[in-house]
Structure 1
Amino acid sequence: MPPTSIDGVEDAIIERGYACVPNFLPPPAVEALASEARHMWEDGAFEFARIGSGANRQRCPQVRSDRILWLDTDALSTAQHRYWRALDELRGRINRATMMGLVDWEGHLALYPPGTFYRRHIDVFANAAERQLTTILYLNPDWQSGDGGELRLYLDGSNREPYIDLEPRGGTLVTFLSSRFYHEVLPAHTERLSITGWFRVRSTRHF
């Protein structure tokens, strides 16, 4: 299997805070992940996504209407573990270049049926800053222009302009600083699959 493509990700993170890498995983690996996700969807394993954290988590379909399935990094499938190994290599490279101190990764499968979306938001909770770097791997090998579901990344803090729209093409990895970029998922017109996750640092919370 060809190696993953991660050259330059750390430089892009340093220079502009985000990176978009086509063909991060080769097509057979992407299709294996997508096939697993579809089977788990058909088995009813996904749940409605919620917003907030802890006791404040709640379903809010006017904000986000996707379905998710959290991954257990201690019980990954062969296809999921291949992706996890690629992420771990990327984590090491970013740590060496930036001294961010990323220690682990958490993530979930995300499925957007036609008509679903995720409104503008930021990935860091007010009471927890462990999430440092967002990662999104797209699992849509047949995505076409007009299928919707683009990631809109706002480039100037909370301002609505400028922004860029990134296509959810299969095998593409998008990664960005979690506390810096507001973003949203535009309405999907066909099924949209991804693995969304976060590289994290150790907790600094005091109780």
Structure 2
Amino acid sequence: METLYRTQADSLTDRIVDALATQGWVVVDDVFTPAEVQALREACLARWDGGDFRAAAVGKGGGEAVRSEIRSDSVLWLNEADDAPAITRYFDTMDALRVAVNRGLYLGLADLEAHFAVYPAGSFYKKHLDRFRDDDARTLTSVFYLNEGWPAGAGGELRLYLDADCRQSVDIRPQAGTMVLFLSDRFWHEVLPARRQRLSLTGWFRRHGGVMTW
């Protein structure tokens, strides 16, 4: 948990909490050190090369299905018991962030589910919300990028829609070390087609006792 509490950590968490309180989303680039980003990238690629990833699905439970016309990435779900030090540190750091956000915003965040995502060249994820229609547990989304030197024109941006009508948006380049946090039930978003392999680590902070909403 040291990462968020090193020098200027209070400034980092204050910036995150303040932005989430005022606009519901934030982009930061100093949650993890460059060495930590590189370690996560290497862990992701090692699992990719080892064949551990599976085609990503949409939906939940009995409605879960691979729909390549909606999303064409592959994912590997992670857990805190993973023996890779980089992954353990990721969960420790994110838990410290969870505590800070709860302290500032009283969101009741209880745990984190997370996966690596690899988008081969040409892959995308169409516009969607991160909260299931029958379960409101997912509360705060985190997307963390692992791509070194992502060039302009390579695509793969996260397009975050800022209004309910999806008329205003911001595109966020998937550069290593960049983290995007946003309220899961408020912001439609999509991943624009990537022109080269794109790596990310996506997490959802959840509340316990989610209720049926539809």
Q: Which moved more, 1:176-185 or 1:141-150?
A: 141-150
1:1-207 correspondence to structure 2 within 5 Å: 3=6, 5-157=12-164, 159-205=165-211
Identity of aligned residues (%): 41
Q: Note the C-alpha offset of 1:203.
A: 1.9
Aligned-CA RMSD value: 1.5
Q: How many residues are treated as equivalent by the alignment?
A: 205
CA distance in 2, matches of 1:11, 1:26: 22
Q: Secondary structure at the match of 1:180?
A: coil
Structure 2: 5+ residue runs without aligned partners? none
CA distance in 1, matches of 2:13, 2:197: 27
Q: Note the C-alpha offset of 1:73.
A: 2.0
2:119–2:198 Cα contact (<8 Å) kept: yes
TM-score (ref. length: structure 2): 0.91
1:6–1:21 Cα contact (<8 Å) kept: no
TM-score (ref. length: structure 1): 0.94
CA distance in 2, matches of 1:102, 1:76: 25
CA distance in 2, matches of 1:70, 1:112: 15
Q: Secondary structure at the match of 1:37?
A: helix
1:25–1:172 Cα contact (<8 Å) kept: no
Q: Note the C-alpha offset of 1:76.
A: 4.8
Q: Which moved more, 1:24-33 or 1:10-19?
A: 24-33
Q: Over residues 128-148 of structure 1, what are the superposed CA-to-partner deviations in whole Å (9 max), with x where a residue is unaligned?
A: 100000001100122111111
Structure 1: 5+ residue runs without aligned partners? none
CA distance in 1, matches of 2:204, 2:96: 14
